[in-house]
Structure 1
Amino acid sequence: MADAIGPRLYGCYNCRNHVAFHDDIVSKNYVGRQRRRAFLFSHVMNVVVGPKMDRLLITGLYNVADVSCSDCGEVLGWRYEKAYIEAQKFKESKTVLEKFKIVKEDW
C-alpha cells in the first residue's frame, strides 16, 4: 500500500506560508548573510522578488534580488538573476532560502 503522505514543504518561519518543496533543493551547502546555513532551490513559491542589484557574495559578483514571503513580507533569502563568472552560471534563476527563515511543514 502506498503512503498517503504528501510532499514535504517548507514554510516561512514567521507566518507558515508555504514557500518551497523539499524535493526542489539543489544544494544544502550554502551560507546566508549572517554566516548561517542556507539551501539553494530550483523553484520557490509564494514569494515576492525585490529589485535587482549587484552583490558581492562568497563565490563572486552576482546580480541578485531579495525574496520575501508574499504573506508577511519577511525577507527569506535571494534569487540569482545573473552570474558574472562562467562557472557560477548554474545558479541563475535559482533561489537561496536561509535555513533559519524557513520551517518544515507537515513532516
Structure 2
Amino acid sequence: MADVILPRLYGCYNCRKHVALHDDIVKKDFVAGHRRRAFLFSHVMNVVAGPKMDRRLLTGVHMVADVHCSDCGEVLGWRYEKVYQEAHKYKENKTVLEKFKIVKLDW
C-alpha cells in the first residue's frame, strides 16, 4: 500500500485551528511590522476579515483588513483588499500571516 502524503498545514498559534496550506504560500520573504517575518498566501481558511481600512505599510498605503482566527479571534495578519501601486498589484486579494502567529501542524 502506498504512503499517503498529507498536506502540510499551518494552524493558529493560539488554538491550533487550521488556517493555511504550505502549498498556498506565494512569498516567504515578507516583512510585517517591527521587522517580523511573514508569509503571503494565495488562500487561507478559518479566518474572519475585519473592517477594510487604508494602512501605511512598508511598501506604501494599501487598503487592508486584519484577519482573525475564526475559533479564538486572535489577529494573525491581514488581507490586501486594494493595492494602489501597480508594482504591488500581485498582493491584491491575498493574505499575509505573521510567522510567529502560525505553527506547523504535524510535519
Sort the TM-score into its range (normalised by shorter chain): over 0.9
1:22 match: 22
C-alpha separation in 1, matches of 2:11 and 2:105: 6
- What SS does the corresponding residue of 1:34 show, helix, strand or coil? helix
Instruction: Give the structure-1-normalised TM-score.
Output: 0.96
Once the two structures are aligned, what percentage of the paired residues are identical? 79
**Shift of the alpha carbon at 1:51?**
0.1
Q: Counterparts of 1:37-76 in structure 2 under 5 Å?
A: 37-76=37-76
Unaligned runs of 5+ in 1: none
1:9-60 deviation line (CA, Å, top 9, x unaligned) = 0000000000000000000111112311000000000000000000011111
Structure 2: runs of 5 or more not aligned: none
CA deviations 1:70-101 (Å, max 9, x no partner) are 00000000000000101111100000000000
Hey, which bits of structure 1, 4+ residues long, moved more than 4 A? none
